[in-house]
Amino acid sequence: MKKALLNFFERIEPDKEKQPFLHTLYDGFFTFAFTPNFTTKGGVHIRDGMDLKRTMVHVVLALQLCYLFGTWNIGHQHFAALGMYTGYLEALHLKIAYGLIKLIPIFVVTHVVGLGIEFYYAYKKGHGIEEGFLVSGALIPLIMPPDIPLWILAISVAFAVWIGKEAFGGTGMNVLNIALLSRVFIFFAYPTFISGDEVWIAGLEKVDTSYVSEAYGWGAGFFDWIFSGVGWSTFGEGGVPVVDGYSGATPLSLAFQGGWDNVTQAYSEGAMLWGTIPGSIGETSKPLIILGALFLILTGIASWRIMVSMIFGAATMALILNAWGATPFMEVPWYFQFYMGSFLFAMAFMATDPVTASSTSTGKWIYGFLIGFIGMIVRVMNPAYPEGWMLAILFMNVFAPLIDHYVLQANINRRMKRAKVAAVS
């Protein structure tokens, strides 16, 4: 059966000279569907047939729990703001449906724009489709607010792929992490759409001085048709006002305003740990992110050295700030810094990007530690942006080659000294 299927695909292969664009599309699908023909054996450093596509797929698989939880949390935060279905499993069908209504367009726009640019460059260069956007395309939706305008998302993805990747030569040549470059573009070009307390809960619109739920539209109407048929609760028309005292503030913004006590007045430690809080789509559930990180470590895809050293770097700086204690945010106990924001997501899926991170073993320790150290400074001491991992990772992306250079130079110098000693003796 497998042989027959392979023969079928080989028969329908478009001619590379006469139909270059079709051949590019065919090659991308063919190499994704079938494993490599040969595996390496013997005394080499690679002993399997893992090509780049299958390596990237492992990262995408590690993100799926974040996608599942993020889909539910979009709906849960929306209805909680309205004072409806506040139980975690209450109206589960509505929460998941609403999450899909918000998440699917973000996912589709990200991939249509990003892959469209990838396909175009592959066609123009006359080579196969590069695999790098598999991971970037999976990461970008998870680091966005659930109500990000799709036109802004499209511009940010195009900027990241064009300027951050293709301008440097394509997959494996980029200096900066593509997913983070997309987010930092929005942060500086359209800051009101990715910061503040009003962007983290989907489906609320301001009427006069208060908020109400948006008109749900045809997507919810489609689900209402299904749900009403089985006797389940439905979305309705919208226009429901938010509950008194509603705030879409994230734990980080609350910590910056009044320290840890201010955070715990709004959210319990359990809610912050499990992720039932406002935030970017995929960053909130810490246990699920940790499971994804362990999967990447056990499969050998991501560097545990970067993850561990990043934790040490963040903890070291947090302890220094605790000792300083000049502001309420500095006084937040260092271990509670890991409950808030996107540290674990950045550690597991962003800092470990093998293209933009340090490649030497010693360099990974230095690289990860400095991300944690610098990121904590930005998080606590920057009033315009109470989070720091995006900027810290992009900053260290630039310095990763320099770190590796000095690590390699130190190794060369050490070996030269041993060689001279041996020559003299």
Q: Mean pLDDT, to the nearest integer, of 167-189?
A: 90
Q: Which of 150-154, 223-227, 235-239, 284-288 has the lowest mean pLDDT?
A: 235-239
Flag whether 164 is in a domain. Answer: no
Write the pLDDT tens digit of every residue in 293-303: 999 999 999 99
Flag whether 147 is in a domain. Answer: no
Instruction: Report yes or no: 99 and 73 within 8 Å, Cβ to Cβ.
Output: yes
Indicate if the pLDDT at residue 44 is higher than 50: no
Indicate if the pLDDT at residue 149 is higher than 90: yes
Q: Mean pLDDT, to the nearest integer, of 292-319?
A: 96
Tokens standing for 417? Answer: 């000294």
- 26 or 316, which is more confident? 316
Which band of pLDDT confidence, cut at 50, 70 and 90, is reported for residue 211? confident
Listing DSSP states for 226-292 in one string gives: HHHHTT-----S--PBPPTT-----HHHHHHHHHHHHHHHHS-HHHHHHT-SSSSTTTS-HHHHHHH
Flag whether 332 is in a domain. Answer: yes
Q: Which of 185-194, 269-278, 392-401 has the lowest mean pLDDT?
A: 185-194
Domain housing 11: 2-33
pLDDT of residue 424: 78
Number of residues that this document lists for the chain = 425
- 22 or 411, which is more confident? 411
Flag whether 390 is in a domain. Answer: yes
Write the pLDDT tens digit of every residue in 6-26: 666 666 666 666 656 565 666
Which band of pLDDT confidence, cut at 50, 70 and 90, is reported for residue 201? very high
3-class SS of residue 348: helix
C-alpha angle 394-193-142 in degrees, rounded to nearest 5: 55
Flag whether 378 is in a domain. Answer: yes
Residues 337, 341, 344, 350: is their CA dihedral positive or negative? negative
* Closest by CA position to 395, among listed 181, 188, 142: 181
Flag whether 242 is in a domain. Answer: no
Q: How many domains does the chain have?
A: 2
Flag whether 128 is in a domain. Answer: no
Query: Helix-strand-coil percent breakdown of the chain, rounded to 5?
Result: 65, 0, 35
pTM of the model: 0.89
Tracing tokens 């997959």 back to the chain, one arrives at 171
Count of Cβ atoms closer than 10 Å to residue 47 Cβ: 11
pLDDT of residue 124: 77
Flag whether 204 is in a domain. Answer: no
Residues 28-34: contacts with CB under 8 Å, at least 24 apart: 28/119, 28/122, 28/128, 28/129, 31/128, 33/9, 34/6, 34/9
User: Phi and psi dihedrals of 131, rounded to 5?
Assistant: -95, -5
Which band of pLDDT confidence, cut at 50, 70 and 90, is reported for residue 128? low
Instruction: Report yes or no: 276 and 73 within 8 Å, Cβ to Cβ.
Output: yes
